[in-house]
Amino acid sequence: MSNKSIINIKPLGFPWETQNPFLFCAYHADAYPKGNGQLGPNAPLSGRNIGQDFTIKDGWRMYHGDKVPGFPSHPHRGFETITVVEKGLVDHADSQGAAGRYGNGDVQWMTAGSGLQHSEMFPLLKEDEENPFELFQIWLNLPKASKFVEPHFKMHWHEEIPVAEIKDENGKTTKVKIVAGKLAGKAALPPAPDSWASNPENEVAIFVIQMEAGAKWAIPAASETVSRSLFFFKGSSIEVDVQEILTNHSISLRGDKSIEIKNGPQTSRFLFLQGKPINEPVVQYGPFVMNSNAEIQQAMSDYRKTQFGGWPWPRHDMVHGKLPDRFAKYADGKLEKP
C-alpha cells in the first residue's frame, strides 16, 4: 500500500465536488454594496439575469432573488443542509412556520427528511457601509432509513462553537472551527438528531481551518474507510507529502494517515469534510436526493400534491426586518436567541 496521503487533486469548481456521504458544497463569497433600506443592494440590477444571477458582477450575485439576494422558497427531501455563515446574515423561513436570522459565524443544521420548503435570503442591513458575505452550504446525505424522518433544524450559535488553536514548534497558529466531529480534546455541538453525523461510528467531521503564514499542522488519522476532502480556497500555496499545491484546489486524502500541511507565505483557509460513506444508491434530481428513480418520481408527485405543507409566509423571499438580532423560532413556537 502506498505511503502517500494524497489520493487526487482537482481544481475547485462551482459547486465544490465532495465525496460520499457528502453531496456537494456551495461556497458563496460576495462583496455586497451598501443596503438600499429594503434589505437589498443599493446598486442597479441592470445587466443581471435576475432570478438566475450566478455570475459575479461588481463582486456579487443576486442568485434567485429579485430584490434581496438569496434563495426564495424551494423544496428539499432526503438529505441535510449544513449552512456555515462566516460573514453576513441569512434569513430562514420554512413550510413548518419556523424562522430565523443567523450569521457572522453561526451554523444552521437542517434535516429536510420527508420534505420541507425553505427560503434562505441574505439581507443587507448596513446602509452606510458595505455588506461582505461568505457562506458554505454543505449537503450531507441521509441513509435510506432516515429519508422520511420529520424535518428539523437546529442552530449552532458562534458563541458556542468550539475552536481549537494549535501552535507549531515555531509558534505559528492554526485555528480550527469544529462544526462536526472532534479535535484536540474539543467536541462539536451535537448535530441534528437523525443526521448521519449523529452516530460517532460514522466519523463525520466538518472543520473550517485558518493557518498562519508558515504554519504547520497535521490532520489526525481516522479510519481507512472514511472519505476526506480538503478544500483550499484562500491563500497562495501549501505543501502536503512534499508536493506543492496551489490555492483553489480540492485534495482527496486517505483516512488512515496523519496528514501534515505546511502552509506557504500567506494566511490560508480551508474547509475539511470527512465521513464514512453511506453505501447505498444515490439518485438526485435537483432538490430531491433518494435511493431510486421511483422515489424521485414519488417526491415530485408528493410535492405537487402537498407543497410539503405549503408556504405560510407573505412573501417567498421572506426577510425579518432591519434589526440585526439573531434568533431562531421553531415549528413548536419555541423562540431561541444566542
Q: pLDDT by residue (tens digit) across 73-124?
A: 999 999 999 999 999 999 999 999 999 999 999 999 999 999 999 999 999 9
Cβ pair 24, 18 in contact under 8 A: yes
Q: pLDDT, tens digit, for every residue of 198-208?
A: 999 999 999 99
CA distance 289 to 336: 30
Average pLDDT, the chain: 97
pLDDT at residue 1 in the model:
39
User: What CA–CA distances, in Å, run from 245 to 9, 167, 235?
Assistant: 8, 22, 11
C-alpha cell at 313: 409566509
pTM, entire model: 0.97
Q: Is the pLDDT of residue 209 over 50?
A: yes
C-alpha cell at 177: 472551527
Instruction: Determine if the peptide bond prior to 287 is cis (ω within 30°).
Output: no
Confidence of residue 4 (pLDDT cuts 50, 70, 90): confident
pLDDT at residue 221 in the model:
97
In this prediction, residues 227-232 reach a mean pLDDT of 98
In this prediction, residues 18-42 reach a mean pLDDT of 98
Contacts of 242 by beta carbon, 8 Å cutoff, 6+ apart: none
CA distance 310 to 298: 17
In this prediction, residues 250-267 reach a mean pLDDT of 97
Provide the total of helices (H) and of strands (E) in the chain, helices listed first: 1, 26
pLDDT at residue 3 in the model:
62
C-alpha cell at 183: 479535535
In this prediction, residues 41-57 reach a mean pLDDT of 97
Cβ pair 119, 317 in contact under 8 A: yes
In this prediction, residues 318-324 reach a mean pLDDT of 96
Q: Return the residue matching grid coordinates 412573501.
A: 315
CA distance 4 to 9: 13
Contacts of 286 by beta carbon, 8 Å cutoff, 6+ apart: none
Percentage of the chain beyond pLDDT 70 is 99
In this prediction, residues 122-137 reach a mean pLDDT of 98
CA distance 277 to 309: 31
Q: Is the pLDDT of residue 20 over 80?
A: yes
